[in-house]
Every structure is written in structure tokens, then in C-alpha cells.
Amino acid sequence: MNLHTLTGLRRTFSPFLRQESTDRLALLRPQMDRLLERLQRVGVKCEVASSFARECAPLSDRSDVEVLILDHAGLRDFRLLEIAWDEVTEAEVHLVFASDVVARQVSCSPPL
């Protein structure tokens, strides 16, 4: 396997799992859109993270969603969670605060 390309890391999914994932995405997308819109309306800078943000990643009924909070606009954590719970009812929501994430640099250099 060539470690410098991602072709060996892709998985294929059966048509059943792909349809289940597509259905789950169709259910959660409007909820996530409302959540992001509501958070941004009150000044929160945020983005969707995790497998929900990657189109090639499968979603199942056990899939949760993560929202990366870049700037909480002075709102308390619990208030952000209340907003998330109000808008996303079909999945568990995790808030990831950028200020709590340890930054690491990952690089991959081609062989000499």
C-alpha cells in the first residue's frame, strides 16, 4: 500500500448501508442547518465537524454529530447545549470548543 496516497484507505459500502447513510443524512441535514443558523444568529462562530462533515463517511442511527465552536460569543456552555438540543432531535450532539483542542501539526513528507 502506498502510504502517500489515500486510495488504500477508502472503504466501499454495500448499497443497503449507503442508502441508510443517505437517509440519515437527509434527516439530519435540515436539523444541522437550523442549528448552525441559530448559533450564528446569536454571534457564535461554528462549523460542522466529524463524519457528518465528510461526505464519504457513512452515517448510521448511532452516528452523533459534532459542532466545532470557534467563538462562543460570551454564551455559557450549557446555553449552547440547550440550543443544540432544541434543534437536533435525531442524534446526539457534541460541542467541541476550539479553545480546548490541543493543536498538533501533522505532516507527511515523500521519501527521499
* Number of other CB atoms surrounding residue 79 within 10 Å: 13
| 3-state SS, residue 108 | coil
pLDDT computed for residue 22 by the predictor: 75
The domains located in the chain, with CATH, are 15-100 (3.30.460.10)
| Nearest-angstrom CA–CA distance, 57 and 42 | 30
The pLDDT tens digits for 57-84 are: 667 667 778 899 999 999 999 999 999 9
Average pLDDT over residues 40-63: 77
| Nearest-angstrom CA–CA distance, 50 and 68 | 9
Between 23 and 76, name the one with better pLDDT: 76
| Nearest-angstrom CA–CA distance, 24 and 64 | 11
CB of 65 within 8 A of CB of 88? yes
How far is CA 30 from each of CA 10, 26, 87, 90, rounded to the nearest angstrom?
27, 7, 9, 11
pLDDT computed for residue 41 by the predictor: 97
